[in-house]
């Protein structure tokens, strides 16, 4: 039976890049931008632009206030204890690499172990491989349950005191499965391991409170949260950031420089070398305000209803194989028997339906699923029943074309 929301969202008019008749179903890759975000970026470049932290003139001081206000807004959004725990990065990929190089590569030693899962994005695999190779650590891989969740029973059985780090996705970018972060943190800490959570697909859909979750690091990308590209966030416990060496050298991250010796600024400045993405931070601030005004609980309920209806409709097409759990968060991955996902995506595009097709930067997961690639429809606040109808009609056309 179709799921109906009591108060469905009707915000598509806020998104000027979504024309009438176009079903944008690729939000898991990147979200479209609402007018308040676009306006904040235009205002930042067109009216109030100046550098931050260095200028003594009024506009620079005002921009510095706005930039640091964005940091405080992110801290409040994530439930961080302090804005000093918020490091601005280019995106979650850079945030994970920062932890891999500045924490793992300096804290781990030969014989230590890292635990990942089969469903991780490449950005949550490759940096750990690089760090492990550098110090002689080893990586273990947690399997999935039958419906595509990280198997925390298996993780608990695998973890030993030799494991110093666990790094897992809060929400799978392929399957939409939601991690029980509280339990993952508990079993990691029980053996003395630190835990990083990749929140890229979670923060646009679920309320996140890092203090309540009790994790050690949390990362996300602004562009998946209806904000601009090129800005992201690493949250880390203050005591962990304090012990980490700099990520890059340059301006802004220093205390004092001489040719004999350089001393470094305290976090977060220590990890933000060079002129930052100033206007990106302003856009991220606006995006968080936009999402909070709607309410993350309401967004999750809206997307859950869309997922339920899409899965029900696609399940009625005999040649379609659905992947992941029924209660996935905003994401529906599927395969059409005998048809490559790229062909599915091309035919859907002809019908003005935009989906993702490929391995979704999760090749180990594809191998575990026994496929080379999948088609993926992912929802945002701007989607509605008409988009599901267009998707299903397009998939039916695919099956007719390929027989």
Helix (H, G, I), strand (E, B) or coil at 89: strand
CA atoms within 13 A on the CB side of 218: 27
CA-CA distance, 90 to 94, in Å (whole number)? 6
CA-CA distance, 164 to 93, in Å (whole number)? 20
What's the burial of 382, exposed, middle or buried (CB within 10 Å: 0-12/13-18/19+)?
A: buried
Catalytic sites, residue numbers:
361
User: Looking at the DSSP assignment, which residues form a beta bridge with residue 115?
Assistant: 140, 166
Question: Which residue's structure tokens are 């890049």?
Answer: 17
What's the burial of 241, exposed, middle or buried (CB within 10 Å: 0-12/13-18/19+)?
A: buried
Tokens of 206: 């679920």
Contact 213, 185 (CB under 8 A): yes
CA-CA distance, 194 to 90, in Å (whole number)? 23
Q: What sections of 193-340 are H helices per DSSP? A: 210-213, 238-243, 278-294, 296-315
**What is the number of other CB atoms lying within 10 angstroms of the CB of residue 111?**
11
Which one, of 240, 194, 200, 202, lies nearest residue 219 by Cα? 200
CA-CA distance, 334 to 262, in Å (whole number)? 53
Question: Which residue's structure tokens are 């005191």?
Answer: 161
List, in sequence order, every beta strand (DSSP E) within 27-104: 86-89
Peptide bond into 268 cis (omega under 30): yes
CA-CA distance, 54 to 251, in Å (whole number)? 10
Contact 11, 383 (CB under 8 A): no
CA-CA distance, 107 to 87, in Å (whole number)? 20
């Amino acid at each position: 039976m179709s799921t109906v929301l009591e108060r469905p969202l009707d915000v598509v008019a806020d998104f000027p890049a979504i024309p009438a008749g176009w079903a944008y179903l690729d939000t898991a890759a990147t979200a479209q931008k609402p007018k308040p975000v676009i306006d904040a970026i235009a205002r930042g470049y067109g009216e109030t632009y100046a550098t931050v932290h260095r200028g003594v003139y009024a506009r620079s001081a005002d921009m510095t206030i706005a930039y640091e206000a964005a940091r405080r807004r992110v801290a409040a959004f994530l439930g961080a204890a302090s804005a000093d725990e918020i490091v601005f990065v280019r995106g979650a990929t850079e945030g994970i690499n920062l932890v891999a190089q500045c924490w793992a590569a300096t804290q781990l030693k030969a014989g230590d172990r890292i635990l990942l899962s089969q469903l991780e994005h490449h950005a949550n695999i490759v940096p750990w491989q690089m760090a492990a190779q550098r110090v002689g650590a080893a990586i273990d891989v947690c399997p999935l349950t039958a419906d595509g969740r990280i198997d925390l029973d298996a993780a608990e059985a695998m973890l030993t005191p030799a494991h110093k780090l666990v790094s897992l996705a809060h929400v799978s970018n392929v399957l939409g499965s939601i991690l029980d972060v509280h339990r993952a943190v508990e079993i990691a800490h029980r053996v003395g391991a630190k835990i990083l959570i990749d929140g890229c697909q979670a923060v646009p859909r679920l309320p996140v409170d890092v203090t309540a979750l009790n994790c050690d690091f949390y990362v996300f990308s602004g562009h998946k949260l209806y904000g601009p590209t090129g800005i992201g966030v690493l949250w880390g416990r203050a005591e962990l950031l304090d012990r980490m060496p700099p990520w890059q050298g340059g301006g802004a991250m220093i205390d004092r420089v001489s040719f004999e010796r350089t001393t470094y600024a305290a976090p977060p400045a220590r990890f933000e070398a060079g002129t930052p993405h100033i206007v990106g931070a302003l856009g991220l601030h606006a995006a968080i305000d936009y999402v909070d005004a709607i309410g993350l609980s309401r967004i999750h309920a809206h997307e859950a209803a869309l997922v339920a209806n899409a899965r029900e409709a696609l399940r009625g097409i005999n040649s379609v194989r659905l992947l992941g759990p029924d209660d996935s968060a905003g994401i529906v991955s599927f395969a059409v028997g005998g048809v490559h996902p790229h062909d599915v995506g091309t035919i859907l595009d002809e019908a003005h339906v935009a989906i993702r097709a490929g391995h979704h930067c999760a090749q180990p997961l594809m191998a575990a699923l026994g496929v080379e690639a999948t088609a993926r429809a992912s929802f945002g606040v701007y989607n509605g029943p008409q988009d599901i109808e267009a998707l299903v009609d397009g998939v039916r056309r695919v099956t007719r074309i390929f027989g």
